[in-house]
Chain A
């Protein structure tokens, strides 16, 4: 094929195998960042228009919504930001930042979101949809048990994707660039012909799915042709490779509104095309940077329509266009290319930004120069997250990517059934309250003995805790099985599934929120001599501890082993149940910004936390509890087991003042590299890094106009600080900042 001229390798030409293509053709880059360039005039013009649009959007929250047309791959006219200067094209709708209505997840959610911003759905559209179409949300509630509904509205199980797109799927969008749509359609047709034995429902479902995927690929061709491109054949140069890949992704965010729709791991793939073009004399470095800058501009413009409640959970309008960068090919060679630098350089060229969610797959063996550059950009922009490639690569192979914040999956071969999280703190509180919710008083988990003692007995609490946990996990599993069955039925993501293997491995992602509080509470119960105060309903309202007790986050093996023990208990329970699509259960310790809302709905806890106070984010120690310095805090988190337990990710956010990190930039960079090397060598999985002074955040909270583009890492993503609610800002500020003493 003419498009493949100059590429090496055979295996990837015979069947879909992007990894083999990369392996056969990529060129590792180990030198420094001196080759990088600034932005072109064209990029500058496009970005200036973007800035104006973003400012306008910031005022109203939503710039515009398309209320006459519904979501779909090819339902919108082509849209442009600045047509004559755009090198990479394609928008979700016909106008930049105009949001899509996606009623397949649930109509009520759509109406609520529209109303919040002063829009109304076209009457006829609404009528017709209501009359002829059932939604994912309808389906889920038809099947939900009373137990699930009760656990849900008491906030024991929260954030479930039962009214919005589940997301977390990463299509291997590179496939469109490497093979073209026609080849992919051919392969899918071949797959369809293989599943002829209609032995059970799953085969029927699969055949229907494959047919939907083929239709989606046809639609992607049509959508691209509106922009003047023929994606039926493979991309023939770097510009097309990036454009095709982006079209494939664009189809996903036109069709669906998944909470996190990450884009995968593309820089090394793009680099192969860029290198070929440069060798052929078709592209200069400046033009290569232009392609990446403009690709990133497009990723910064992805939007979904959300309700205000959703924004409270996940602040700052995140879309988690996570792009995974770096990592090792094997023990000797990294996957770092010049384009790994180019994508980080976009933060210089078009300023820092929360999206795309730039994720460095870190290994102590990465080229030293790249480590330096990544750390320098992290210190400068507080927008990068780091994840442990040496931990994940042996599990997922070297062509995996991070979805959302911390969820790894092998690209094209695995996908995820997202499941939000349980409020782990409530599991403990229900054990102390006979299965009743500590706030509503409703009986959520039955068959739990009521404790009436004044002082808590650790053994007794643990016994009841286990009982509550067992029942909670069962309810949680039931809910997720229902949700994903209905999601496939009523809001199937055919455009994304088209870029996955026909029979991918499914990971069902469960999660916990509030781990540090449960751990500290058990430590308090064990050694602190905890006395309970109850109201006239017999529900716990406050706890006093008579003795000091050790807390998670101080590298104290006794307390830290409580954390390990707890997550293992949860995972062992999860393993007991058969899951939809024969999925493998995974578990995350991740909250995103929802730790504030979860806290709000949760009563006082034995560790001394007051009712309604926020949880700490992700797997972080409780705010202020980690008193033994940063390494102790990091070491505690690093002990939580990833492999075969919390394999959906363990999020940790680390904030340090610049002065504490080192005297000058060079020392700071070198120290940050050592912190990351040490942390990941200890087996940890994820770290958000913020190098900034607390005073700046306090000032920004009080004078937002002074800091229009202050971006910080929260739990698993970056966010514009101004877009957080006051409560969330206060919580971020209350976190432990490691400062110079």
Chain B
């Protein structure tokens, strides 16, 4: 009997309606190497969780929702950073493809093991790429990490011609200005096969999690971005 790889899952949301097309089972995977200021899932940072399951079990769980997800939906791997467990993710993706399930990864484009990246992209139908910042300096400021890994991923994505949705979180005082949006508009021109560009409003719903984890919340004086402001910025794109 084939032995399936095991990995760490944070949780499963059985009905995701905004992370990819149609109805999607969203698998929140554990582990991330970025420490974004506005992260609302700090509980997924550490590489292990209580939920250690095999790739097959993950896919079996997804298959339970076939009547819903086969209508133009599928599965989305989010996190945490799904690429953080590259080998595990790849095995799941392959099984999903075998089961004819549409796959999507919701990623920051970091934390991967290079060895598996090409194959991961091959088995992924849609990449939702979270752009943290468009220059080294700000990237570092926001994520705490260098932009190199992201840049490598970005080039791979373009090279492989993967279908992408681009996302950018808009945080008051950091990037909620016309100037940034116009620069972003230029920046994203390098991507091919872009289906959608979404600006996401920064919100403070993750704050309580920091308290529980005894972590310091660095944006504590920043308020949520208003819907009106978001719509205003969206018009510039």
A interface residues with partner B (beta carbon < 8 Å): 555, 628-633, 635, 659-663, 667, 670-671, 674-675, 677-679, 681-682, 738, 740-741
Contact = CB atoms under 8 A, between A and B. Distances in A.
A739 to B, nearest CB: 10
B49 to A, nearest CB: 16
6 contacts: A629-B13, A667-B17, A674-B71, A678-B65, A678-B67, A678-B69
Which secondary structure characterizes the binding site on chain A? helix
Nearest to B71: A674
B210 to A, nearest CB: 16
Contact of A738 (B15, B68, B69): B15
Interface stretch (B18-26, B89-97, B180-188, B217-225): B18-26
Interface string B51-93: 0000000000000110111011100000000000000000000
B71 A677 contact: yes
B37 interface: no
A271 B20 CA distance: 41
Contacts of B18: 659-660, 662-663, 740
Given A671-B22, A674-B23, A629 B73 contact: no
Given A667-B17, A674-B22, A679-B68, 13 more contacts: A629-B14, A629-B15, A629-B16, A632-B14, A635-B65, A660-B17, A671-B17, A674-B23, A674-B72, A677-B71, A678-B65, A678-B71, A682-B67
A633 B73 CA distance: 18
Nearest to B24: A631
A661 B23 CA distance: 9
B12 to A, nearest CB: 6
A631 B23 CA distance: 9
Contacts of B15: 629-631, 675, 738
Given A738-B15, A741-B13, A671 B23 contact: yes
A185 to B, nearest CB: 50
Contacts of A667: 17
B14 A675 contact: no
A631 B14 contact: yes
Q: Bin chain B's interface residue count.
A: 10 to 19
Contacts of A631: 14-15, 23, 25, 65, 68
A117 B68 CA distance: 50
Q: Among A629, A662, A677, find the residue whose CB has the most chain B CB atoms closer than 10 A.
A: A629
A-B complex: 9 closest residue pairs judged by Cβ atoms = A678-B68, A629-B14, A631-B14, A630-B15, A631-B15, A678-B67, A632-B14, A681-B67, A629-B13
Contacts of B68: 631, 674-675, 677-679
Contacts of A555: 14, 64
B230 to A, nearest CB: 11
A628 B23 contact: no
Interface of B: 12-18, 22-23, 25, 64-65, 67-69, 71-73
Contact of B14 (A630, A662, A682): A630
Contacts of B73: 674
Contacts, number: 60
B57 to A, nearest CB: 14
Q: Among B14, B16, B22, B23, find the residue whose CB has the most chain A CB atoms closer than 10 A.
A: B14
A659 B230 CA distance: 15
Nearest to A555: B64
A243 to B, nearest CB: 42
A27 B68 CA distance: 31
Contacts of A670: 22
Q: Among B13, B23, B68, find the residue whose CB has the most chain A CB atoms closer than 10 A.
A: B68
A629 B16 CA distance: 8
Nearest to A626: B14
A663 to B, nearest CB: 6
A635 B68 CA distance: 10
Nearest to A740: B18
A229 to B, nearest CB: 49
Contacts of B65: 631, 635, 678
Contacts of A662: 17-18
Contact of A629 (B12, B22, B71, B72): B12
Contacts of A659: 18
Contacts of B16: 629
B23 A678 contact: yes
A472 B229 CA distance: 62
Contacts of A663: 18
A631 B15 CA distance: 5
Nearest to A673: B71
A206 to B, nearest CB: 46
A628 B13 CA distance: 6
Nearest to A667: B17
B64 A635 contact: yes
Contacts of B13: 628-629, 741
A678 B64 CA distance: 11
A625 to B, nearest CB: 14
B198 to A, nearest CB: 8
Contacts of A741: 13
A635 B13 CA distance: 13
Contacts of B12: 628-629
Contacts of A671: 17, 22-23
Contacts of A682: 67
Contacts of A738: 15
A674 B18 CA distance: 14
A683 B25 CA distance: 20
Contacts of A635: 14, 64-65
Q: Among A659, A663, A678, A681, find the residue whose CB has the most chain B CB atoms closer than 10 A.
A: A678
A662 B16 CA distance: 9
Given A555-B64, A674-B22, A675-B23, A628 B71 contact: no
Nearest to A738: B15
B15 to A, nearest CB: 4
A147 B83 CA distance: 66
Given A674-B71, A678-B68, A661 B25 contact: no
Contacts of A740: 18
A632 B23 CA distance: 13
B51 to A, nearest CB: 12
Nearest to A631: B14
A671 B16 CA distance: 10
Contacts of A679: 67-68
A741 B209 CA distance: 13
B14 to A, nearest CB: 3
A740 B71 CA distance: 20
Q: Among A635, A670, A674, find the residue whose CB has the most chain B CB atoms closer than 10 A.
A: A674
Contacts of B69: 678
A410 to B, nearest CB: 28
A628 B15 CA distance: 9
A675 to B, nearest CB: 7
Contacts of B14: 555, 628-633, 635
A632 B72 CA distance: 19
A604 B71 CA distance: 43
Q: Among B13, B22, B67, find the residue whose CB has the most chain A CB atoms closer than 10 A.
A: B67
Q: Among A628, A629, A631, A660, find the residue whose CB has the most chain B CB atoms closer than 10 A.
A: A631
A696 B23 CA distance: 25
Contacts of A675: 15, 23, 68
